[in-house]
């Protein structure tokens, strides 16, 4: 055996078990800073995705509901059957709705609907409504919670 090989075999290995004192505090604080930065990035990504989903849902709802149509009145006739009075611009369409379809029954102009009592006159109570405090409270609650 060579002299160098014998020298390496006889030399004890002493691993460094501690970091130098000037680096020990820095590595702990660097780890905390990196952890907080990572946490902030994750929270920002979560908020960003939530905002994008909310925006997409709003635009989808606007596309589905349309801007020119609004339901004026609904009368339930039985299970899965009803009449809907739908405003489309200045016209009103009376629709029959059943399980298997929607059927237009009649189209009214705004003036015809008012003259036949389907719409209230300007400033009047809705057709058939009685002036009672409870009815007024319910009407106000419906108006405020309607989407």
Cα(77)–Cα(98) distance, integer angstroms: 10
What is the full DSSP assignment across the chain? Answer: --HHHHHHHHSPP----S--HHHHHHHHHHHHHHHHHHHHHHHHHHHHHHHHHHHHHHHHHHHHH-SSEEEEEEEEEETTEEEEEEEETTEEEEEEEETTEEEEEEEEEHHHHHHTTSSPPTTSPPTT----HHHHHHHHHHHHH--
Over residues 49-58, the mean pLDDT reads 88
How much is the pLDDT for 6? Answer: 59
Whether residue 64 has pLDDT greater than 80: no
Whether residue 115 has pLDDT greater than 70: yes
Contact 111, 92 (CB under 8 A): no
Whether residue 76 has pLDDT greater than 90: no
Sign of CA dihedral 52, 57, 58, 60: positive
Give the pLDDT confidence of 120-129 residue by residue, as tens digits: 766 444 444 4
Over residues 54-58, the mean pLDDT reads 84
How much is the pLDDT for 50? Answer: 93
Whether residue 28 has pLDDT greater than 90: no
Cα(25)–Cα(34) distance, integer angstroms: 14
Whether residue 131 has pLDDT greater than 60: no
pTM of the model: 0.41
Contact 68, 89 (CB under 8 A): yes
Over residues 89-100, the mean pLDDT reads 88
């Amino acid at each position: 055996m060579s002299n160098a090989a014998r020298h390496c075999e006889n030399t004890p290995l002493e691993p460094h078990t501690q970091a130098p004192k000037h680096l020990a505090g820095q590595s702990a604080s660097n780890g905390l800073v990196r952890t907080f930065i990572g946490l902030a990035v994750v929270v920002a990504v979560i908020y960003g995705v939530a905002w994008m989903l909310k925006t997409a849902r709003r635009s989808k709802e606007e596309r589905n509901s349309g801007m020119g149509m609004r339901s004026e009145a609904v009368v339930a006739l039985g299970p899965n059957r009803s009449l809907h009075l739908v405003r489309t611009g200045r016209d009103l369409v009376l629709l029959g709705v059943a399980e298997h379809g929607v059927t237009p029954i009649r189209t009214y102009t705004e003036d015809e609907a008012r003259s036949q009592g389907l719409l209230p006159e300007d400033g009047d109570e809705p057709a058939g409504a009685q002036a009672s405090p409870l009815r007024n409270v319910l009407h106000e609650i419906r108006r405020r919670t309607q989407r």
